[in-house]
Amino acid sequence: MGADMVPDIEVVHLGGNESFRAWSHGYPYKTVRWHRHPEYEIHLVTATTGKFFVGDYIGTFVPGNLVMIGPNLAHNWVSELPGIETVKQRCLVLQFPSALALNIIKIFPELRYLRRLLKESHSGLLFEPETGLLAQPLMQELTEAHGFRRVQLFLTLIELLSRDAGRKRLASSEYISEPDVFATSKIDLALRYISKNFSNELHEPDLAALTGQSVSAFSRAFHKHTGMTFVSYINHLRIKSSCELLTNGRLSITDICFKVGFNNVSNFNRQFLLQKGMSPSKFRAYDEIKISNYNKA
């Protein structure tokens, strides 16, 4: 693993009722790989020790390791565990798009000092252990918080990080996360557009035109940076959105099919089966069983 390896791209999908993503995962886990994404990330290790990689920086982490990653900066944390041991929660993660941070500063000029934190994070930032200790309960609560409390915790966390005068930049100034930065920015533009419009009819030539590329060049670049074809990527987002609708509300499966962007139910059922291994109706039935068992507990 290193600067000479092309990082995978992680698709960070925000639900319709959230402006940022707060979650946790164990180890091993699918995102534990050399990867990047256009969103900012705040990453706190809660268990295990090992090596972490940010750009061309290599360091050793322990619980309490708190790092902020800027857009498209490649990174990975690799735990050192004996044998086939697994950990239920290895880290807490918060991911938010650049537009969110910039809009907050635009709306609240009192927070313009946060620009420095955002700019420095493009090289990766390692915070003092004391900051990690204070951040952990905030990030833990964020994984379950809703409404105003969620926004309050987010702003409190960002404020905490901005006050850490001992934070350390990680990647060197010479490091370039991608040799084709310009092409990357074009694909990120397309990804942002798709994320906002995947429920509408989308055509690859239109997205190629949006990025100023030929269809063939766009198709190659898109597959390189997402690991999927244009159609597969859109279907992935539509099925992910349909899962949220199946578990949150009582829309019929037909209504959900058209709401997420499919133009016929048979194709929706086929794509859902390919991705989830079951039909939409069975997925909803399993979810209802889970809720029923939870309420009985």
Q: Set out the domains of the chain in order of their start, with CATH numbers.
A: 8-169 (2.60.120.280), 181-291 (1.10.10.60)
Q: What is the pLDDT of residue 252?
A: 93
| 173: amino acid identity, one letter | S
- In the block, residue with structure tokens 């039935």: 285
C-alpha to C-alpha distance for 112 and 108, rounded to whole angstroms: 8
SS (H, E, C) 200-268: CCCCHHHHHHHCCCCHHHHHHHHHHHHCCCHHHHHHHHHHHHHHHHHHCCCCCHHHHHHHCCCCCHHHH
Beta bridge partners, 51, equal 60, 78
C-alpha to C-alpha distance for 91 and 66, rounded to whole angstroms: 10
Highest mean pLDDT among 140-144, 192-196, 293-297: 140-144
Q: What is the pLDDT of residue 225?
A: 74
| 81-88 mean pLDDT | 82
Highest mean pLDDT among 80-89, 178-187, 274-283: 274-283
Share of the chain above pLDDT 70, in %: 90
Per-residue pLDDT band for 111 (boundaries 50, 70, 90) equals very high
User: Which among 142, 39, 26, 119 is positioned nearest to 77, based on CA atoms?
Assistant: 26
- pTM of the prediction? 0.66
| φ, ψ for residue 69, nearest 5 deg | -115, 130
| 231-242 mean pLDDT | 91
Per-residue pLDDT band for 185 (boundaries 50, 70, 90) equals low
Beta bridge partners, 180, equal none
| 64-83 mean pLDDT | 91
- In the block, residue with structure tokens 């004996």: 82
Cβ atoms of residues 83 and 155 within 8 Å: no
User: Which among 209, 185, 207 is positioned nearest to 197, based on CA atoms?
Assistant: 207
Encoding tokens for residue 79? 């735990």
Encoding tokens for residue 196? 């906002």
